[in-house]
Amino acid sequence: MAGTVETQEQERVRALLDRVRGDGRSALTAPEGKIVADAYGITVPGEGLATDVDEAVALADRLGGPVVLKIVSPDILHKTDAGGVVVGVSGAQEVRAAFCRIVKNARAYSADARIDGVQVQQLVPPGQEVIVGAVTDPTFGKVVAFGLGGVLVEVLKDITFRLAPVTADEAQSMLDSIGAAEILKGVRGAPAVDRWALAEQIRRVSQLVTDFPEIAEVDLNPVIASPDGAVAADIRILLATEEVKPRRRYSREEILVSMRRLMEPRSVAVIGASNEQGKIGNSVMRNLIDGGFAGEIHPVNPKADDILGRKAYKSVTDVPGEVDVAVFAIPAKFVASALQEVGRKGIPNAVLIPSGFAETGEQALQDEIVAVGEQYGVRLLGPNIYGYYSTWQDLCATFCTPYDVKGSVALTSQSGGIGMAILGFARSTKTGVSAIVGLGNKSDIDEDDLLTWFGEDPNTECIAMHLEDLKDGRAFVEAARATVPKKPVVVLKAGRTSAGARAAGSHTGALAGDDAVYDDILRQAGVIRAPGLNDMLEYARALPVLPAPKGDNVVIITGAGGSGVLLSDAIVDNGLSLMEIPPDLDTAFKAFIPPFGAAGNPIDITGGEPPSTYEATIRLGMEDPRIHALVLGYWHTIVTPPMVFAELTARVVEEFRARGIEKPVVASLAGDTEVEEACAYLFERGVVAYPYTTERPVAVLGAKYRWARAAGLLGGGR
């Protein structure tokens, strides 16, 4: 509100930043940083600027106690490297000596540097050193950071990130998200830090960079956290040197309207359709026709009258009636002019299969088609893609292998090769899909558009996305947060390097490598991050099969002690909780297992037991409401063959499901090759089972639990 203290302080910061930029500078001096800190309530020590030795002595005397002296120069960003910091100075004689030494060191470090003076600052009492900062991430925009600070900050790299601005609760959650979180609570007799004060430093920094987008980086390092508060001993603020052009954004309603016509089209035109086998335009036409697409298919080719028995048109503008999608199968150099015709025709979607754009250095050509698309309101999928599959529409708009097994999994990929790996996996595992979509260069349509659509699509229960980058990380997070409460979102983020961090101007910037930021913010959005391609595909295949857990208690029932140990390790690795078996339940399990077996958790029924023992213990695990999930460990014996185990397990689970009792059940089967058939049988009947591995079934269960928490179905969510 105009005239309030808050607005006046913001105006003060605005005037300061304008002055700094007017001077042609991108870094604030320490005294300028204090002005900003005071305006935003960021606690810093008492201090002042001394332009000569006598002023330094007077300031030190007024502040009292030991002080810190720091060089103040807009040309010296890293003061310590220049010998421009002296800590713990007391008395007039020491202050004079330190002042002269600092100025001398600065002159030697950079003879041309402008020296404004020396900052005299109260020495902050000892405490836990942490770092609070913010950076401008190219994908997610303003991101706030928190972690261990001081001289070890870039060695330990124990840091966590959130989108700015953060709420008070989100700031508090950051304190618990670093590896050394216990240190803040007090260890070995040390007192706990003031968590509220520390969280407030985070929140205020996040608000600062939100209010002033021109601030590129903020670095409070170290912040000294103690039982009495949190004080930023040093503040560094860097300004952006160039403005970023904002990406065009579409409303949720606009996205849903265009995506519906893309994914559920009534009429498709193929620009570049061909009668010649081996041509992309021929393959697309054959897939559309042979796939049984019930809508209209219009080939467009100025040199043909008839293509595969369909009337061909010289131009897409000649096609009668409305067209929902134009699929391009022509060389890159002809796309822009054909796209203008698509725009004049009023077609809302263009699927651009051709390569030869930004991926080959032809950025100008890609910029041209984007401009045409925006001019006419045509959404662009691609270019440089294999096309897309929309199975519930019997639509196969691609030049690749057809796929028509309908199911509940939607899969997207930025890469054509990964797209075909997805297709092969789906076929070999009999995974039904609702869609497979290539994104390629993502000149326009990207993951947040598709996520918005699949979130509302009744045929889709799980969404899995391979991506190399995100054009607009905030739009993706927004779409994910709207989707995750309804269905799981799995992401495989390729490229875990952080090469860009080398050029950063602050500790926070150096720590904000691409992958570190992606990891924390995807988790913040409730997305399940898969470590590899096969993991992503298995999560996508398995998550719709498993019911959501209703609590944290996981019980292992195994016929092999060795498997039980490995399954227990996997439980811990995936952040799950082995149930502490209460005495009455322990007694109940013991009634079914031999004396040389082991109750507790894992429950080891031993390998020589007949099917009845497996059935009785699994039945008890399903029946007891205190048990929320079962992990089964089977090993192959003639006493209980693999298919016998599979059939009894599936029958018991189905029986309880019919009674309204649903729990996630996963199984690890060890044995000869017959266990493969048993696993397939179980999978088809709602039990996620894998041969030859104890890690995979528990990893899938862990992914289901992560989604359930993010969706608010269990405690301890995002």
pLDDT digits (tens, 9 = 90+) for 225-264: 999 999 999 899 999 988 767 778 899 999 999 999 999 9
Q: Looking at residues 503-515, what average pLDDT do you find?
A: 51
Tell me what pLDDT residue 148 has. 85
DSSP 625: T
Backbone region of residue 600 per phi and psi (left: phi > 0; alpha: psi in -120 to 50; beta: other values): left
524 vs 173: CA distance, rounded Å: 10
Instruction: With a cut of 60, say whether residue 498 has pLDDT above it.
Output: no
Give the separation between CA 366 and CA 149, rounded to whole angstroms. Answer: 44
pTM (predicted TM-score) = 0.89
Radius of gyration of the chain (CA): 31
Over residues 541-588, the pLDDT tens digits come to 999 999 999 999 999 999 988 899 999 999 999 999 999 999 999 999
pLDDT the model gives residue 496? 61
Q: What residues contact 452, with CB distance under 8 A and at least 6 apart?
A: 252, 255, 256, 259, 479, 482, 483
Which residues are 296's β-sheet partners?
267
Residue 6 has pLDDT above 70, yes or no: no
The owner of tokens 């992503």 is 536
Pick from 460, 415, 468, 459: nearest CA to 437: 415
What is the Cα–Cα distance from 171 to 165, expressed in whole angstroms? 10
Confidence band, pLDDT 50/70/90 cuts, at residue 446: very high
- Looking at residue 648, what is its pLDDT? 98
Q: Grade residue 78 by pLDDT with cuts at 50, 70 and 90.
A: confident
Cβ atoms < 10 Å from Cβ of 590: 15
The pLDDT of residue 503 is 41
Token pair of 107 as six digits = 């002159």
Percent of the chain beyond pLDDT 70? 95
Res. 506 pLDDT band, cuts 50 70 90: very low
Q: What is the pLDDT of residue 516?
A: 83
Burial of 410: CB neighbours in 10 Å, binned 0-12, 13-18, 19+: buried
Residue whose tokens read 């993502």? 442
500, pLDDT greater than 60: no
What does the pLDDT average to over 619-631? 98
Q: How much is the pLDDT for 718?
A: 44
The mean pLDDT of 618-646, rounded to a whole number, is 97
Mean pLDDT, residues 258-279: 97
pLDDT of 2 reads: 40
- Tell me how crowded residue 52 is: count the other CB atoms within 10 A of its CB: 12
pLDDT surpasses 70 at 622: yes
Return the pLDDT at 509: 46
Handedness of CA 674, 680, 686, 691 (dihedral sign): positive
- Helix count and strand count (H, E) for the chain: 24, 30
Give Cα separations from 25 to 29, 119, 209, 213, 240 (angstroms). 10, 19, 18, 16, 10
Examine the pLDDT at 120 and tell me if it is beyond 60: yes
pLDDT at 415: 86
Cβ of 695: how many Cβ atoms within 10 Å?
15
- Give residue 152's pLDDT: 54
Say which DSSP state 331 is in. Answer: -
Assign 155 a pLDDT band (cuts: 50, 70, 90): low
296-348, pLDDT tens digit by residue?
Answer: 999 999 999 999 999 999 999 999 999 999 999 999 999 999 999 999 999 99
Contact between 98 and 86 (Cβ < 8 Å): yes
List the one residue out of 64, 74, 8 whose CA is nearest residue 38.
8
Confidence of residue 639 (pLDDT cuts 50, 70, 90): very high
Q: Which of 85, 72, 82, 77 is nearest to 105 (CA)?
A: 82
Q: What per-residue confidence (pLDDT) applies to 715?
A: 64
367-398 in b/e form (b: 16+ CB < 10 A) is ebbbebbeebebbbbbbbbbbbbbbbbbbbbb
Name the packing angle between helices 30-39 and 5-22 (round to 10°): 160
User: Token pair 């020491």 is at which residue?
Assistant: 94
Tell me what the pLDDT averaged over the chain comes to: 92
